[in-house]
């Protein structure tokens, strides 16, 4: 077998979580990432028939039966992943309708997947129904999106429109907009279910006074999705106390739709 640390999916995961930490999105052990893997890309690196141990998941996701995920660990610091990936990351395969996870690699210190694992898996299931190519769910705490939930109306249409108006590329990068949850207790099935419901209509879900969930086809796309929304939130927080003399109008955003072949969420532009 080839060294799994040289696999493209592993290199990209390590690079991504390190970048998230460097951006200040994942302080201490905050944040988590899961990447769905297919058998073909792991066949040269992983003995799939060898199960190290089985971990109860605390939820059911029959639509993810047999799916394999590279996931960050609970209590792990993203800054340490590049130095000890086998401790801070794990590869698990769901079985028994998602109620059990077979550990195939990693978590060598006896640890397990993130406490937000149920929310990740529920979001994967929801996004796969919306987009069969979805493979990534990413949770982090970008400071400006978080700050925005303290001072902005949490109405999803209004929140989205504000972000779209902050930077020309926003409506191109996330034309499906942003969905928003009120503050909820994290690490529970309840917030996982609520997030998954929001994931049916948007790839970005804001957890008020906490952070954001993003989903995408690969790590780069998902990171860039959050990065773009966070830049827009940063601009908003810099100008929110000032009179706005100019803005990006709905008419101009319709021009962007035509130019880039995207469709804004129905009813969210005038």
| Residues labelled as active-site residues | 116
Q: Which two tokens stand for residue 82?
A: 């590049």
32-37 and 136-140 strand pairing: antiparallel
Enumerate the β-bridge partners of residue 103.
Answer: 53, 92
- DSSP letter for 263, please: -
Residue 191 near residue 214 (C-beta atoms within 8 A)? no
Residue closest to 214 by CA, chosen among 91, 88, 32:
32
Q: CB–CB of 138/215 below 8 Å?
A: yes
| Distance from the Cα of residue 137 to its chain's centroid | 4
Strands 178-181, 204-207: parallel, antiparallel or unpaired by DSSP?
parallel
At 136 the three-state DSSP class reads: strand
Long-range contacts for 186-191 (Cβ within 8 Å, ≥24 apart)?
Answer: 186/115, 186/116, 186/210, 187/115, 187/116, 188/118, 189/58, 189/59, 189/118, 189/122, 191/119
């Amino acid at each position: 077998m080839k060294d799994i640390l040289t696999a493209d999916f592993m290199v990209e995961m390590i690079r991504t979580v390190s970048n998230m930490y460097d951006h200040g999105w994942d302080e201490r052990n905050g944040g988590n990432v899961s990447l769905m893997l297919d058998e073909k890309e792991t066949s040269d690196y992983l003995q799939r028939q060898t199960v190290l141990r089985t971990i109860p998941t605390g939820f059911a996701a029959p639509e993810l039966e047999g799916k394999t995920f590279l996931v960050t660990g609970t209590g792990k610091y993203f800054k340490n992943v590049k130095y000890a990936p086998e401790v801070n990351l794990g590869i698990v395969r769901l079985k028994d309708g998602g109620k059990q996870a077979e550990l195939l690699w990693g978590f060598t210190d006896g640890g397990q997947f993130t406490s937000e694992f149920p929310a990740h898996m529920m979001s994967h299931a929801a996004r796969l129904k919306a987009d069969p190519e979805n493979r990534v769910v990413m949770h982090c705490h970008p400071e400006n999106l978080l700050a925005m939930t303290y001072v902005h109306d949490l109405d999803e249409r209004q929140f989205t429109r504000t972000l779209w108006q902050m930077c020309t590329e926003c409506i191109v990068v996330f034309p499906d907009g942003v969905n928003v949850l009120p503050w909820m207790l994290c690490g529970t099935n309840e917030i996982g279910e609520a997030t998954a419901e929001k994931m049916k209509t948007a790839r970005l879900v804001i957890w008020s006074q906490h952070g954001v969930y993003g989903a995408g086809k690969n790590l780069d796309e998902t990171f860039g999705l959050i990065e773009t929304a966070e830049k827009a939130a940063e601009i908003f927080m810099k100008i929110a106390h000032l009179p706005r003399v100019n803005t990006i109008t709905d008419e101009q955003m319709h021009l962007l739709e035509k130019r880039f072949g995207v469709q804004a969420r129905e009813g969210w532009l005038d």
